[in-house]
Chains A and B, each alone.
Chain A
Amino acid sequence: MSEWWTYSLSDFLMFSSRSYYRLIESYNAAIWPAHVLALVAGIIVIGAIAQPRQHLRRSAALVVAAAWGWVAWAYHLERYAEINTAAPYFAAAFAVQALLLCWLAFEPGNAAPAPQRVALGMTGLAIFAYPLLALTRDGGTWRQAEVFGIVPDPTVVATLGLLLAWRAPAIFWLIPMLWCLVSGATLMELKIGHAWLLPALALTAVVARIKVRKTPCDVNSTANPRS
């Protein structure tokens, strides 16, 4: 792309907020009642953070990996690609993250770290509060609710909580952080009121991760069969 410095974010936005939320609405309608399953999956993830045991950790990592894989295929590739030519690349990135999370599930870690309030809060927000954001927008309805495991943003936020709780290495953070930037910029260009939320949560997760790095794992509080 020549004269790349002359391009602004708005030059890459190829759809309106109306088309974007209608896409989410029709997608929600098409896969209902998968949302109930997604909610159950979300509760498993919260449980794994609240009760840091190895078998729960594995189940949660697999649940989140499945969510990333589903979003890659059902959302990015099958839906979002209709209005965004970059969506196949997003799908590829989400598929890679799904594989990384599978690896995390079977990684012989030393211990499942103790739960942290930030991690729990972030995952809880992604699973219970994120769907309600639809109601805060002008013209938004519950039919456009963004649900963990169904659409990218809450899935990514819940994953950040999980990665934070498990003190996951940097490689697991790369794609979620990039998505926070991409989606935050998209929502900003669409002039959505809560566009700041995703980048703010990403920043919070990074700061919390840096802080927990300085504190040792509470090995004694875990029931890790391998330790």
Chain B
Amino acid sequence: MSLTFPSRRRRLLKLLLSVTGGLALPSLHAAPALVPLLTRPIPSTGEQLPVIGLGSWITFNVGRDPQGRRESVDVMRQFFAGGGRLVDSSPMYGSAQDVIGEAVQALKPARLFSADKVWVGGGARGVAQVEASRKLWRVPRFDLLQVHNLLSWDEHLPILLAMKREGRLRYVGITTSEGRRHAEIEKIMASQPIDFVQISYNALDRDVEQRILPLARERKIGVIVNRPFRQGDLTQSLAGKPLPGWAADIGCTTWAQALLKFIVSHPAVTCAIPATSSVAHVRDNLLAGTGRMPDETLRKRIAQDAERLA
């Protein structure tokens, strides 16, 4: 699986237009870069997906707070303007789905890749939950639905796969986080026709490099990476520590960019989904999806330095 640049002229023009639109807004919404986001093919179809997505755990759960909702819309505006596509959420994330739906309605992103989850016991309840989630997102259908934390996966997967066959869904996946139930994840990856697996992976938590990432490549399963910064703990512990010399070689000006580049440069990874409520951070995250990527030797150094300094 290789990183590719979107080459079509129309796409570049769209990006430039979105950048111009961004510049017309206050400085807070300034576009991140003129360099397009790198993309990776989804293994099961070859469809290109930007390597930086957007998570919504905690950050978009702002309830009815108008200011929190405005800020969330600003984050998504910046994300789409910078070329981002995949937004990930779950019924488990409180008001996040509705907040995303509000942004989708306001921004009408042309190339949204909607990734949501089923998180309920029992298959029949899953169908109702998916429909409720779809209404909250204000989308005609989801691009990707994942079984959240493998909850009742044996009941949900057949239903989601049937939805995909009927054209009511484009991709099917499963998720876990914090290294849980990896043995079961492997079993499902080996036996079920899923398109995506979502796991936790970062410069410090690298267990998935042993079996899950190689298996994903072998089975042509896309990999979405959650908790790339250990829910902010990693970037916080590295804050104030000077970036090592290698950072400039791959165009990184912040630890967040370096940590994301470490993740998305793994050949099995399709995209990472950092969550943020800050426009400045989403801009920073998107920059990690541009320019040079570390090779295997440098990836090892990034992990070593992160371990040493965090």
Contact = CB atoms under 8 A, between A and B. Distances in A.
Q: Do A and B bind each other?
A: yes
Interface of A: 2-3, 6, 10-11, 13-16, 18-19, 22-23, 26, 79, 82-85
Nearest to B184: A2
Interface stretch (B63-71, B103-111, B136-144): B63-71
A14 B231 contact: no
A3 B61 contact: no
A85 B91 CA distance: 10
Contact of B181 (A2, A11, A16, A83): A2
Contacts of A2: 181
Contact of A3 (B59, B94, B181): B181
Most buried by B among A19, A22, A23: A19
B61 A83 contact: yes
Interface residues of B, number: 20
Given A19-B62, A83-B62, A14 B92 contact: yes
Contacts of A14: 57-58, 61, 92-94
Interface string B160-187: 0000000000000000001111000000
B96 to A, nearest CB: 9
A83 B94 contact: yes
Contact of A23 (B57, B63, B93, B277): B63
A82 B64 contact: yes
A14 B119 CA distance: 15
Contacts of B67: 22
A16 B58 CA distance: 6
Contacts of A19: 61-63, 65, 68
Interface string B21-38: 000000000000000000
The B interface is mostly helix, strand or loop, or mixed, namely loop
B190 to A, nearest CB: 19
Interface of B: 57-59, 61-65, 67-68, 92-95, 178-181, 231, 277
Contacts of B64: 26, 82
A82 B95 contact: yes
A130 to B, nearest CB: 23
B61 A23 contact: no
Given A2-B181, A3-B181, A85-B94, A18 B277 contact: yes
Contact of B62 (A11, A22, A79, A84): A22
A3 B180 contact: yes
Given A14-B94, A16-B61, A83-B95, 4 more contacts: A14-B58, A19-B63, A26-B65, A83-B94
Nearest to A8: B178
10 smallest CB-CB distances across A and B, nearest first, come from A82-B63, A83-B63, A22-B65, A15-B61, A19-B62, A83-B94, A83-B61, A6-B180, A14-B94, A3-B180
A6 B92 CA distance: 18
Contacts of B181: 2-3
A63 B300 CA distance: 63
11 contacts: A2-B181, A10-B231, A13-B58, A16-B59, A16-B61, A16-B277, A23-B63, A82-B95, A83-B62, A83-B94, A85-B94
Nearest to A80: B63
Nearest to B150: A2
A13 B58 CA distance: 8
